Amino acid sequence: MGHGHHHHDLGGQPADVPEALDLSIPDSELSPADVSRRGFLRGAGLLGAGAAASVLATPGVAHAHDGPEDHPSGGDHHSKGGFLWLAGDHHIHTQYSSDAMYRVFDQARHGRAYGLDWMVITDHGSVAHAKIGVEKVNPDIVSTREELKDLLLFQGLEWNIPAAEHATVFVHPGRNEVAVLKEFENAYDGTVKNAGANTPENEALAVAGIQFLGEQVRKRRVEGALFLANHPARRGIDSPHEIRAWRDADPSVAVGFEGAPGHQAAGLPGGNAGGRGFYEGSPSAASFPGYPLESYRTWGGFDWMTATVGGLWDSLLAEGKAWWISANSDSHSNYLDTAQRGPDSNFDLNGKYNDPVYGPVLAKAGDYWPGQYSRTHVGATSFAYRAVMDGLRAGRVWVDHGGLINGLDVRARVAGDRRPGSGTPLGGVLRVHKGTKVELTIDIDLATRPNWAEFVPVLARVDVIAGSVTGPATDRDTFQAPNTKVVKSFEVDSSTGKASFTYSFGRVDEPFYVRVRGTDGKRSAPGYMGVAFDPAGPAMDVVGDADPWLDLWFYGNPIWVLPS
Amino acid sequence: MRYVEHVRYVGLSLGHGANREAEHWIHTLGLPAGVEACTHIARTPYPHVVVSLALPDGVDVALPETAEDLSKPAAEAAADHAARRGGRAFLFAGVDDLTGVLTVRDLLAKSAISRVKVLGGSDAEPEREVLTRDFVRPEWTDGTLTLTTSAAPGGRLAPFEFPNPTPCCGGAH
């Protein structure tokens, strides 16, 4: 330990090279420039645990980094812990989806107004989209980029994963962004290829699709490509072994899933009054038989795989698999908006609906605008497309609902080390000698301004969740981490606008990971695994009675501590 | 003891992918009153829905043939139904009376359902109100026809299975 404090400016580095991020390529096969960049990233702690099959195999020491503070953006982001935290949403539909209606510009402009710095347009994969929409949406995205210069707007699509649910797939902007997405959709989309059925062949097609994306990056057709599975537990059809297979197919591409799905207004009493997130299903012939009924509902607005302490997400983290969570809008048509699809539309012919027109108030719609309720905060080194993708890949990400908090800096560190910039941030790996005293510091900027429901959220409690790292799972369908539990809860009582906590792990001898979660404390229940694991976790949401503004949570991604 | 004697159990399937499709198919057969029908999820030779029928003595209906490759899971479903260890009932005694809001006590009295359970917990109290949503699908487990419920608005319970789940985005599946 005792590594120094780095002062680098990523923006001043030579052109970014994706090979440096792909840890499946050994140093010996990299160009000297890539080796240099990889070394730099490692030294700066920016490689995080992402892009590696397992954190156990990640060399180097993750450390803090001070990013540049000058940037052209104007979002709600702010600098904290040396990073520029950029709020975003990777799951947004437009008039190029058969079940949506807004222009790209409508979504982008609203998301921007609601404080987002980056967004991904993800229209559904379909025959019409593969043929028409994937190309036609691009000029709309390009012109919106021109118009909203302080917004990073990615083009992606919502992939029908063969044999499984949906996923966000997106690429770095560039001359091949459309070509790569179109090729991908035509070759690997479950609907286009009629590959939705739950068969081994279709599961293999999903893996091949993720590998295809990684190849496009290595061939330098695009500068980056990412995959995040959407609403993973909604219908019980993303089995644990499929999730592991996606991750292992290319860990530089497949980096996570939605910790919280969109459609957060869908359970509003008096509104849609259905399941929060539209999570209202039951087991089917296509679902994984091991999943319990509880998995078909959200818990405090979060997907059961993430909300369960000692559940599926933790089982991946306990293996040492870097796997990150996000929170998005899945906006199709938004609660209390006044718009409707353009008249005389012919979606199949045109690949889009005509521009929306004024319509009656959407009192039963289940969605919020991007940024209105759900945010994915990425610790970036600059305001740039690549920096957002790098931050997502590194897991330097936390998510919140309803603006519960303003900022979060979590660090695993050698006890007592308080030098500025020291400590390992979210998504990182802290490597220490056995017997070293390690502690976790949590610094929170509390909400000081009203959220988009016009009240100032009050954070009541912060939980520290930790679990042993036990290596690769022998059963690829396991979705439990029996050694993970809430190890500490801090009550928040602050009038200063900030809250800081320290939790000591004492002298560490065995590998473990730690993550944090916080709540407004308005609604909680023992976790699915029981009181011993999670005495006051999120409660299962009630179909028809889930007001999302009265049940707010934030979640941070994990940090690993590996003594050796 | 309606089921002990004089009941014939039959499994049949067209290989439907969804419960709703299989239920619709059975409704088109025009089965006489008194037949109990359940859906079962089968995983082989591919994931599909099997229907089992409990046919009281004297009921004589022409039933569709089940394809050879689906006959084994169909026979297993019939056996599970007969043993009261499996099957999600959609036709059962009293189902038509399970509408609106009912107390647990009334729900048990009006139908063949023999147990109302709260998800993750114990049996529901007899006076607790159940919002049926006019859609009640109990399951045979351990010899009892059990309805699993969870919390509903207004302090009520509701069957866990929601009648019309919002179709997936895009309606692709």
Where is A38: in which H helix or E strand? helix A32-43
CB-closest option in A99, A266, A274 to B170? A99
Closest C-alpha to A464, from A355, A374, A558: A558
Cα angle A106, A108, A110 (rounded to 5 degrees) comes to 70
Minimum CA–CA partner of A230 in chain B: B169
Q: Is residue B140 in a domain?
A: yes
CA distance A454 to A88: 20
Residue A332 to residue B169, Cβ atoms within 8 A? yes
Show the domain range for B63: 7-91
CA distances from A52 to A25, A259, A391 (A): 10, 20, 14
A525 touches chain B (CB under 8 A): no
CA distance B5 to A271: 50
Residue-wise pLDDT tens digits, B130-153: 999 999 999 999 999 999 999 999
Q: Write out the DSSP string of B76-122.
A: HHHHHHHTTSS-EEEE-TTGGG--SEEEHHHHHHHSS--EEEETTS-
Nearest CA of chain B to the CA of A278: how many Å?
6
Q: Is residue B119 in a domain?
A: yes
Q: Contact A42/A59 with Cβ under 8 angstroms?
A: yes
Same domain, B58 and B73: yes
Nearest CA of chain A to the CA of B132: how many Å?
13
Chain B residues 129-168 with a CB less than 8 Å from chain A = 148, 150-154, 158, 160-162, 165-166, 168
Q: What is the pTM of this model?
A: 0.91
Residue B49 to residue A93, Cβ atoms within 8 A? no
Structural domains in chain B (count)? 2
Same domain, B79 and B134: no
Residues of A in contact with B19 (CB under 8 A): 284
Where is A428: in which H helix or E strand? none
Rounded to 10°, the helix A312-319/A240-249 angle is 40
Same domain, B25 and B72: yes
Which tokens belong to B164? Answer: 């019309």
Last residue of a domain, one of B91, B123, B145: B91
Residue A542 to residue B151, Cβ atoms within 8 A? yes
Nearest CA of chain A to the CA of B6: how many Å?
31
Q: Is residue B28 in a domain?
A: yes
Residues of B in contact with A332 (CB under 8 A): 169
CB-closest option in A196, A278, A545 to B173? A196
Last residue of a domain, one of B33, B61, B91: B91
Q: Is residue B173 in a domain?
A: no
Residue A59: CB atoms within 10 A of its CB come to 12
Same domain, B82 and B11: yes
Same domain, B85 and B105: no
Same domain, B40 and B86: yes
Give start and end residues of each alpha helix (H) in chain B: 19-27, 71-82, 104-110
- The sign of the CA dihedral A15, A17, A20, A22 is positive
Chain A residues 149-168 with a CB less than 8 Å from chain B = 158, 160, 166
B49 touches chain A (CB under 8 A): yes
> Any idea which residue has 């730690």 for tokens?
A514
Based on the number of CB atoms within 10 Å of its own CB, is A532 exposed (0-12), middle (13-18) or buried (19 or more)?
exposed
Nearest CA of chain B to the CA of A557: how many Å?
27
Nearest CA of chain B to the CA of A3: how many Å?
49
For residue A25, what pLDDT is reported?
A: 52
- The sign of the CA dihedral A383, A389, A395, A401 is positive
Which tokens belong to A265? Answer: 């207004």
Same domain, B106 and B69: no
Residues of B in contact with A284 (CB under 8 A): 17-19, 41
Same domain, B60 and B127: no
For residue A436, what pLDDT is reported?
A: 97
Residue A285 to residue B168, Cβ atoms within 8 A? no
* Tens of each residue's pLDDT in chain A, 564 residues: 333 333 333 332 223 334 444 454 555 555 555 555 555 445 444 455 555 667 776 543 333 333 333 344 445 566 788 899 999 999 999 999 999 999 999 999 999 999 999 999 999 999 999 999 999 999 999 999 999 999 999 999 999 999 999 999 999 999 999 999 999 999 999 999 999 999 999 999 999 999 999 999 999 999 999 999 999 999 999 999 999 999 999 999 999 999 999 999 999 999 999 999 999 999 999 999 999 999 999 999 999 999 999 999 999 999 999 999 999 999 999 999 999 999 999 999 999 999 999 999 999 999 999 999 999 999 999 999 999 999 999 999 999 999 999 999 999 999 999 988 899 999 999 999 999 999 999 999 999 999 999 999 999 999 999 999 999 999 999 999 999 999 999 999 887 899 999 999 999 999 999 999 999 999 999 999 999 999 999 999 999 999 999 999 999 999 999 999
CB-closest option in A191, A283, A294 to B120? A294
Q: Is residue B131 in a domain?
A: yes
Last residue of a domain, one of B70, B91, B112: B91
- CATH fold of A78-376 reads TIM Barrel (3.20.20)
Q: What is the ipTM of this complex?
A: 0.93
Q: Is residue B1 in a domain?
A: no
CA distances from A112 to A144, A148, A177, A260, A335 (A): 11, 8, 22, 21, 18
> Would you kindly state where each structural domain of chain A is located, as residue ranges?
78-376
> Which of A124, A159, A284, A331 would best serve as a mutation to test chain B binding (most B beta carbons within 10 A)?
A284
Based on the number of CB atoms within 10 Å of its own CB, is B163 exposed (0-12), middle (13-18) or buried (19 or more)?
middle
Residues of A in contact with B148 (CB under 8 A): 293
Q: Is residue B142 in a domain?
A: yes
For residue B167, what pLDDT is reported?
A: 60
> Which of B39, B169, B173 would best serve as a mutation to test chain A binding (most A beta carbons within 10 A)?
B169
For residue A6, what pLDDT is reported?
A: 37
CA distance A553 to A550: 10
Q: Is residue B170 in a domain?
A: no
Chain B residues 105-134 with a CB less than 8 Å from chain A = 119-120
Q: Is the peptide bond before B32 cis (omega within 30 degrees of 0)?
A: no
Same domain, B74 and B113: no
Q: Compare A13 and B30 and report the one with higher pLDDT.
A: B30
Q: Compare A475 and B4 and report the one with higher pLDDT.
A: A475
| Beta strand B7-16 pairing with A512-519 | unpaired
